[in-house]
Amino acid sequence: MKITASDRRALSIWRTLVTICATVTLLPFTIFAAYKSLRRRRLKYRLKEKVVLITGASSGLGEALAHAFYRAGCRVVLAARCEDELRRVKNMLLTTHSVSKTDVTHPPVVLPLDLSDLNALPGRVAKVLEIFGHIDILINNGGISYRGNILTTSIDVDIKLMLINYFGQVALTKVLPSMIDRQSGHIVSVSSVQGKIAIPYRSAYTASKHAVQAFSDTLRAEVAAHNINVTLVSPGYIHTKLSVNALTGNGEAYGVMDSATENGSPVEKVAEEILYAVATEKKELTTCSFVAHIAVLLRTLYPELFFWLMKKRAHQH
């Protein structure tokens, strides 16, 4: 087929039109994306030199948070029970992130602690205060999950979940006097979407996470006048070993990687979101799937429907 001069002209007009349309549509998105990334970088700079105590830093989300905050120039304190794992994370931080001469940061501090040993926690906090003089940001992230039914679960397991996930956080939050003295500080509590909605066979876990939500909301109101921020984080499923490390009704390890956890959000993504929420002093961060958001809405707006769905879910178990 022969292409005439008028065909060529028409083709060129079409090409110009498509280019103009694409530019007009994409340009605002490109500008917005560039602005967002610039803003994120600037906000991260705000966190430079901050002393950040992260619990549960020996694995999963806590480990990813350690990387995110260390990369942002923070002086991080890594807390959990397993000292060897904490040392592994410390070495990873030191070897993964090259620190420029102008960006010198304090080497990560390893702080072994057991959140269920409430009486020992003030001494652990004192240790950090001895090293740095203050704590800018406390990230209450350490915790365990649970799989079992209420009827056959030992009360010791209920107590253990509450001790680690709730009372441990409360006890550590008693760093407040040092924050109040400085009229500055930030407490981050990692709860869960299951702190907003309770699902079957997770009673001890969801109860402890609901308690964290209530405590954080009260805390936020009480300390606001002292310039202390509280960020409550409610993640959906994250790809970590949470289900593997979960306790069953008799206190043994569950030892199974659930498919929901396996297909959960990448841990680095959630850690970055938390970092951004801290930098922007967000009061609440709920980071989960669309379905989980709908479930939270249902529980509030149509509780009867939510209860019916949960009954179905329990029967399918």
**Position 279 contacts ligand NAP (CB under 6 A):** no
CB of 279 to ligand NAP, least distance (A): 20
* Residue (47 or 61) nearer to ligand NAP, CB: 61
**Position 261 contacts ligand NAP (CB under 6 A):** yes
Q: Choose, by CB under 6 A, the member of 166, 237, 254, 306 that binds ligand NAP.
A: 237
CB of 20 to ligand NAP, least distance (A): 46
CB of 116 to ligand NAP, least distance (A): 5
* Residue (245 or 248) nearer to ligand NAP, CB: 245
**Position 264 contacts ligand NAP (CB under 6 A):** yes
Residues touching ligand NAP: how many (CB under 6 A)? 32
Catalytic residue among 205, 237, 254, 302: 205
Environment class of 245 (CB within 10 Å of its CB; exposed 0-12, middle 13-18, buried 19+): middle
Q: Which residues of 121-150 are buried (b: 16+ CB within 10 A; e: fewer)?
A: beebbeebeeeeeebbbbbbbbbbbbbbee
x-or-dash string of contact with ligand NAP, 133-172, rule CB under 6 A:
--------xxxxx------------------x--------
CB of 30 to ligand NAP, least distance (A): 34
CB of 163 to ligand NAP, least distance (A): 8
Q: Choose, by CB under 6 A, the member of 139, 190, 228, 285 that binds ligand NAP.
A: 190
x-or-dash string of contact with ligand NAP, 29-68, rule CB under 6 A:
--------------------------xx-xxxxx------
CB of 267 to ligand NAP, least distance (A): 7
Task: Tell me the C-alpha distance between 266 and 275, whole Å.
Answer: 15
* Residue (115 or 232) nearer to ligand NAP, CB: 115
Task: Tell me the C-alpha distance between 246 and 236, whole Å.
Answer: 16
Task: Tell me the C-alpha distance between 9 and 16, whole Å.
Answer: 11
70 in catalytic set:
no
**Applying CB under 6 A, which residues contact ligand NAP?**
55-56, 58-62, 80-82, 85, 113-116, 141-145, 164, 190, 192, 235, 237-238, 240-242, 245, 261, 264
Q: Which residues are designated catalytic?
A: 205
